[in-house]
Amino acid sequence: MDIEALRNAHPEHWSKAAAIRVLTLDAVAAANSGHSGMPIGMADVATVLFEKHLKFDASAPNWFDRDRFILSAGHGSMLLYSLLHLTGYEQFPIEEVKNFRQWGARTAGHPENFLANGIETTTGPLGQGIAMSVGFAMAEAMLRGQLGKRLVDHYTYVIAGDGCLMEGVSEEAISLAGRHELEKLVVFWDNNNITIDGTVDLASRTDQVARFKANGWHVQEIDGHDPEAIDAAITAAKKSGKPSMIACKTHIALGHAAQDTSKGHGALTNPDQMAAAKAAYGWTAPAFEIPAEIKSAWEEIGRRGAAERFAWEERFAALSERKQAEITRRINGEVPPKLASVVRALKKQHAEALPKVATRKASELALEVINPVLPETIGGSADLTGSNNTKTADLGIFDTDNLKGRFVHWGIREHGMAAAMNGMALHGGLKPYSGTFFCFTDYARPAMRLSALMQVAPVYVMTHDSIGLGEDGPTHQPVEHLAMCRATPNTLVFRPADAVETAEAWEIALTQTSTPSVLSLTRQNLPTLRTEFKAKNMVAQGAYVLAEAEGKRQAILMATGSEVAIAMEAKALLEAEGIGTRVVSMPCFELFAQQEESLRKRVLPAGPVRVAIEAGARMGWDQWLLGERGREAKAGFVGMEGFGASAPAEVLYEKFGITAAAVADKVKSLL
């Protein structure tokens, strides 16, 4: 590339873009790790976007109607940090840039949304950014539908690389975006033809332009180093009426010795090569120093959106106080007081009617009373609407002609669904929940981990939660999935035993603002076990005594979900033989672990034999079975050792030995 020709063609643009390039080189060199090539390659696109199009105000990073900028190719984090520093975000002084990738810095190796304002989302696991961006754009459309264009009207811009586009989740995302004609979503593809292993051709010859077109997108192809072409393409994208992909032909590590090579992807720290690149850029300032006129030009960009923000704030201030408070409540993720009261009323009703329903149905019953009082909930299902029971009567279907619709037909796209829920949750103003079969947690897993890591609170409604689903067989029967979810930090895993616990679990899940919830729900009917109405949310304790021993307490049975009823039957068998047996329902390990030790000891006192029952793997139970330091009790487990099988549910419970009789025998063998 003739860098000098590029510089001379657009000198003012070039000096601004060069600032990104040299900050990237300097920060990566200081850290002696990181990814230099992508920020250098995409600096022109980012400069034009921020200078001419992105609606933002660096002094108000959380302005609700700002455009969102998603760096899906998260390894190029120095692109984002450079922009945040240059445009004057308070949390990104030059010291942060100097501390790139160090302990305690906001400039982590990959962008982490929870570390600073201006970072809209964590990215790094490839494909997640583009998939979340669909959720951002859907949230914008939904809120525009609900609150009107005067309050919500912004774009979502994404930079994605070849890695993002090779990941399967990108197909789920772009297909969804095409289906919903998300016209305010603009994706820049960093078409540099390089991945870590070499040229893209080593692994892919997919015609990305044709692929996006096949998914209903508006597509343009431009020179990603030509600021005029970039500007024109963004302008055209915004007018296209469709989601828009701009294929930007770029040179990775432009102007560096490693340009156009896979070496250019990583950390470019050779001092001589750095010096040569800076010279090519016409850059003479010392490391980490930005000449004043360039910095001030960037800061002007950072202030560009202020007037628009003030106008928006005036429009907001003109709303009624009640409306302002309601929108603020939703942006903050707070639930209305009515949530507690409708859940309480439902519990009362259940304690009287004693419904014998599957917990997936109980979940629907809860949503039927919750959705009308929480206009921010957005439901959905990955093509299992009638099975997941996530659609309530009043939601309406989200569609191009019904932006107010609050139920999303996600299609058979569990991963894209979970990622889009993350995007919605990050956007703010909405509380997404959606369902699939619990076993297909596997498909959604990369995005579910990100929910927990990013500290957002979508609700995963995972039905058909065990061998209890029966004939569909082991591919559909979760065994290790409770352990997998419970092992994940910052995740609440609920396995409610009946309709009352299900309602309580929903109340807790929707009250979270920084922790995702997984509701593991049965296909099969279960009796109501919480027959006595209690206003208190017992699930919030994590585990509690559901039924006390009648005789001398010799055994404690612990169970979750569908197995609590089995524990109650086993208790009856044992009590009939004079063996006093307590039953502890444990709908949420994580909440129980948060309780005071004294309370935990009251629920699980040392001494009696302990047997846990769960139609899943034992892993995770030992902490409660064996006591937190061991030595507390003789213990046993009744559950699954291998995968399930195809047969009617009741046959499977019998064949796999998860029965009241087996539990009673296990207790007696330990006494």
* Binding site residue list for Mg(2+): 162, 192, 194
Q: H-helix or E-strand containing 187?
A: strand 185-191
Could you tell me the CA-to-CA distances from 664 to 470, 543, 559, 561 in Å, in that order?
A: 24, 21, 14, 18
Name the minimum Å distance from CB 504 to a second copy: 25
474 binds a second copy (CB under 8 A): yes
Q: Which is nearer to a second copy, 95 or 334 (CB)?
A: 95
Residue 517 has phi, psi (to 5 degrees) of -120, 145
Q: Give the DSSP letter string of 245-281.
A: EEEEE--TTTTSTTTTSGGGGS----HHHHHHHHHHH
Q: Which is nearer to a second copy, 104 or 271 (CB)?
A: 104
Q: What are the residues whose beta carbons fall under 8 Å from the beta carbon of 657, sequence distance 6 or more?
A: 638
Q: Which is nearer to a second copy, 151 or 479 (CB)?
A: 479
406 binds a second copy (CB under 8 A): no
Would you list which residues are annotated within the binding site?
Answer: 35, 75, 124-126, 162-163, 192, 194, 265, 360, 387, 440, 464, 472, 476, 523
In whole angstroms, give the CA distance from residue 647 to residue 650. Answer: 8
End-to-end distance of the chain based on CA atoms, in angstroms?
80
Residue whose entry in the numeric block shows the structure tokens 């139970």: 621
Look at the chain and count its residues: 671
- How many residues sit close enough to a second copy to count as binding (CB under 8 A)? 117
Name the minimum Å distance from CB 339 to a second copy: 28
Contacting a second copy (CB under 8 A), which of 234, 633, 658, 664?
633
In whole angstroms, give the CA distance from residue 491 to residue 451. Answer: 8
Q: Is the dihedral of CA 81, 85, 88, 93 positive or negative?
A: positive
In whole angstroms, give the CA distance from residue 401 to residue 399. Answer: 5
Contacting a second copy (CB under 8 A), which of 242, 303, 329, 634?
634
Q: Which stretch binds a second copy (CB under 8 A): 288-296, 440-448, 524-532, 660-668?
A: 440-448
Q: Which stretch binds a second copy (CB under 8 A): 160-168, 237-245, 347-355, 554-562?
A: 160-168
Name the minimum Å distance from CB 46 to a second copy: 21
411 binds a second copy (CB under 8 A): yes
In whole angstroms, give the CA distance from residue 484 to residue 504. Answer: 23
Q: H-helix or E-strand containing 557?
A: strand 553-559
Name the minimum Å distance from CB 536 to a second copy: 29
What angle do the packed helices 11-31 and 37-48 form, to 10 degrees?
A: 150
Footprint (CB under 8 A) of a second copy, residues 414-433: 415-416
Catalytic residue among 414, 504, 507, 563: 414
505 binds a second copy (CB under 8 A): no
Please, what's the b/e burial string for 307-323 (b: 16 or more CB within 10 A of its CB; e: otherwise)?
eebeebeeebeeeeeee
Name the minimum Å distance from CB 642 to a second copy: 5
641 binds a second copy (CB under 8 A): yes
Footprint (CB under 8 A) of a second copy, residues 613-632: 617-620, 622-623, 625-627, 629-632
What angle do the packed helices 227-239 and 37-48 form, to 10 degrees?
A: 60
In whole angstroms, give the CA distance from residue 172 to residue 168. Answer: 7
Footprint (CB under 8 A) of a second copy, residues 300-359: none
Name the minimum Å distance from CB 387 to a second copy: 8
Footprint (CB under 8 A) of a second copy, residues 350-389: 381, 383-387
Footprint (CB under 8 A) of a second copy, residues 164-223: 166-172, 175-176, 178-179, 195-198, 202-211, 213-216
Name the minimum Å distance from CB 488 to a second copy: 5
148 binds a second copy (CB under 8 A): no
Q: Do 290 and 19 touch, CB atoms closer than 8 A?
A: yes
Could you tell me the CA-to-CA distances from 232 to 7, 192, 395 in Å, in that order?
A: 19, 20, 39
Catalytic residue check, 414: yes
Contacting a second copy (CB under 8 A), which of 9, 340, 573, 647?
647
Would you list which residues are annotated within the binding site for thiamine diphosphate?
Answer: 75, 124-126, 163, 192, 265, 440
**Residue 325 CB neighbour total at 10 angstroms:** 11
488 binds a second copy (CB under 8 A): yes
Q: What are the residues whose beta carbons fall under 8 Å from the beta carbon of 439, sequence distance 6 or more?
A: 464, 475, 476, 477, 478, 481
Footprint (CB under 8 A) of a second copy, residues 53-112: 74-75, 101-105, 108-110, 112
Q: Which is nearer to a second copy, 484 or 567 (CB)?
A: 484
Footprint (CB under 8 A) of a second copy, residues 532-561: none
In whole angstroms, give the CA distance from residue 537 to residue 532. Answer: 13
Name the minimum Å distance from CB 528 to a second copy: 26
Residue whose entry in the numeric block shows the structure tokens 């859907």: 138
Q: Which stretch binds a second copy (CB under 8 A): 225-233, 296-304, 348-356, 411-419?
A: 411-419
Contacting a second copy (CB under 8 A), which of 395, 479, 492, 660?
479
Q: Which is nearer to a second copy, 243 or 429 (CB)?
A: 243
Q: Which is nearer to a second copy, 397 or 573 (CB)?
A: 397
In whole angstroms, give the CA distance from residue 398 to residue 387. Answer: 19
Residue 612 has phi, psi (to 5 degrees) of -105, 145
Name the minimum Å distance from CB 612 to a second copy: 12
The catalytic residue positions are 414
